[in-house]
Amino acid sequence: MQKLAILTSGLVVLVGLWVTWAKVATAQVNSNDPNVALVDNCDPATFNLAVGPGTCAATPHQHDTSFTEFVELLFSPLAANVIGHPAWHFSPGYISIRAGQTVRVTNAGGEGHTFTEVKAFGGGFVPLLNGVGPPAPAGTVPLVEAEACAAPPVIVAPGNTVQMKGLSSGVHKFQCCIHPWMRAVVDVE
């Protein structure tokens, strides 16, 4: 009987711990901090061969856009500027937050990205991705680098998170200074 009592009390302790852990985990998932993900779909094999080792890290999601496909989708006959592969984007592209809230920005992709506040959207610091020179088709109007992208901006490595705190009321524009079509607006009430 004594053994059974010990076993039972042990079980009660274990269940108690499990409930506590579950509550902590839920609290993290339900955090009120708004999130923005920096997303891409770079295929490590072809990107690292074309651009250089370490350009694209492997992720658990098996990203599979080849470098050739990425370049083919930089331009469209419907636009005079670079438009970029749509798998490279900020998600969501618009959030509305209350003053005082912190925005958590996580790089869920395989490449480095920036989440840089700009006065006006513009190009980044990589001429080719601004539409300068080949493979830009004739007639392409290159993007002019956004002022903040010359700073130089903070690059968020794959898997890393940065926090944007103390944003004032109003409209804030953010872009990637590598892939300038990656853009988001944070509207602070």
CA distances from 66 to 34, 54, 59, 166, 172 (A): 31, 15, 15, 39, 33
* Least distance (Å) between residue 177 CB and Cu ion: 8
Alpha-carbon distance of 50 to 68, in angstroms, equals 9
Out of 42, 118, 178, 186, the only residue in the binding site for Cu ion (CB under 5 A) is 178
Nearer to Cu ion, 131 or 188 (CB): 131
Report yes or no: 84 and 180 within 8 Å, Cβ to Cβ.
Answer: yes
* Least distance (Å) between residue 30 CB and Cu ion: 29
Residue 171, φ and ψ in degrees, nearest 5: -95, 125
85 counts as binding Cu ion under rule CB under 5 A: no
Nearer to Cu ion, 26 or 160 (CB): 160
What stretches of the chain adopt beta strand conformation (E)? 35-39, 89-91, 94-97, 103-107, 116-118, 161-164, 170-175, 183-188
Nearer to Cu ion, 174 or 188 (CB): 174
* H helix intervals, the chain: 2-29, 44-50, 67-72
CA dihedral 48, 50, 55, 58 (to 10 degrees): -40
* Least distance (Å) between residue 165 CB and Cu ion: 22
Out of 56, 103, 143, 176, the only residue in the binding site for Cu ion (CB under 5 A) is 176
Residues in region 95-134 near Cu ion by CB under 5 A: 113
Out of 179, 180, 186, 188, the only residue in the binding site for Cu ion (CB under 5 A) is 179
User: What single-letter amino acid sits at 107?
Assistant: N
* Least distance (Å) between residue 9 CB and Cu ion: 55
Nearer to Cu ion, 75 or 174 (CB): 174
Of 105, 104, 112, the C-alpha closest to 156 is 112
* Least distance (Å) between residue 66 CB and Cu ion: 17
- Compose the 1-40 pattern: x for residues touching Cu ion by CB under 5 A, - for all others: ----------------------------------------
* Residue numbers at the binding site for Cu ion (CB under 5 A): 113, 176, 178-179, 182
